[in-house]
Amino acid sequence: MRAAESADERLPDAVAGHFLLRWAPAPLRPFVQLARLDRPIGWQLLLLPCWEGSALASAALGRPLDLLHLILFFIGAVSMRGAGSTYNDIVDRDIDAKVERTRGRPLASGRASLRAAIVFLVLQCLVGLGVLLSFNGFTIALAFASPLIVLIYPFAKRITSWPQAVLGLAFAYGALLGWTAQAGALGWPAVLLYLAAILWTIGYDTIYALQDKRDDVIAGVRSTALLFGARVRLAVGTLYAASALCAELAVLTAHLGVAAHLGVLAYTAHLSWQVSRTGPSVAPATALMLFRSNRDAGFLLFAGLAIAALLSQASA
């Protein structure tokens, strides 16, 4: 029998009526929310740089897209996004209780215990570790540098106005792993794609943070949305332009064809549309919509790189 979702379990930035919350037994719903499974945009934004790095390497090396790698990155992104979100909620449970958008989260609201959240965190990390061990040794070694960034992130908002930059370092890391899983070593195209993804993440998370400006001031939390203030459109536009430039340089240094350049162009057009809708007084619902639309922006870039990889095989 389908479980009903109670009003106090709904979170304002979750997908309305998400099937996992509708069908999950009541005791499991807090864990669905801890892992953000009712908000798939998180794992999608973590996954896309992985897929982009993998497609970029395939196209540059003249190899077919590795479907197994794409599936493994999907599983890894879901599990590690869940682990990161659970850890973030553990660290931020007191701050979350002071912010309107987050006070209904399982730990902040008392619907999940700290002990249960820690056990759940460990289980998700074990899934991610199992995925990681499926890749080559270089990728495994490289990946072990990323948890440090994740550990730092929840504290960054307390000490710097650039917590989005720390998030960018973590969320973009898959661009490097996607490349090395194919190539077995780093290369300039991967580094440039990583930079593109970092700048992209700072931009879209600044838009996301526009929802919380008033509550962040009350809670003493810092963000680029507060830092940029009235110049947020110019700042996001600059970040997005730099991201598009780095993506184009990645394609150029990888010596890819027209399809990859068209992918960058489509990505750039989508980012430009977001900038046109962004501003210091943007409505929270619009900010959330723009943030979520980055799934489409990232997929456009991936599609261009994937088509370039397929065409490189066809012409081989």
> Is the per-residue pLDDT at 9 higher than 60?
no
Q: Which residue bears the tokens 């900010």?
A: 287
Closest by CA position to 184, among listed 54, 94, 65, 290: 54
> Is the per-residue pLDDT at 219 higher than 90?
no
pLDDT at 315: 67
Closest by CA position to 261, among listed 311, 199, 210: 311
How many other CB atoms sit within 10 Å of the CB of residue 67?
9
CA separation for the pair 259, 271 (Å, rounded): 18
Residue 100 token pair: 């309107």
Average pLDDT in the 271-289 region? 95
pLDDT at 7: 41
pLDDT at 3: 46
Residue 289: φ, ψ to 5°? -60, -45
pLDDT at 201: 99
CA separation for the pair 268, 245 (Å, rounded): 9
Average pLDDT in the 161-165 region? 95
Higher-confidence residue of 9 and 81: namely 81
> Is the per-residue pLDDT at 6 higher than 80?
no
Task: Work out the angle at residue 149's Cα, subtended by the Cα atoms of residues 145 and 154, and round it to the nearest 5 degrees.
Answer: 155
Sign of the CA dihedral with 37 first, then 38, 39, and 45 last: positive
User: What percent of the chain is modeled with pLDDT above 90?
Assistant: 75
* CATH class of segment(s) 15-314: mainly alpha
**12: pLDDT confidence band, cut at 50, 70 and 90?**
low
Average pLDDT in the 91-102 region? 82
**26: pLDDT confidence band, cut at 50, 70 and 90?**
confident
Query: Residue 102 gets which letter from DSSP?
Result: T
> Is the per-residue pLDDT at 157 higher than 90?
no
Higher-confidence residue of 282 and 18: namely 282
pTM attached to this predicted model: 0.90
> Is the per-residue pLDDT at 47 higher than 90?
yes
CA separation for the pair 157, 149 (Å, rounded): 13
Among 2-16, 75-89, 136-150, 201-215, which is the least confidently predicted range?
2-16
pLDDT at 94: 85
How many other CB atoms sit within 10 Å of the CB of residue 158?
14
Considering 13-27, 34-48, 191-205, the range whose residues carry the highest mean pLDDT is 191-205
Q: Which residue bears the tokens 């809708």?
A: 277
Residues in the chain: 316
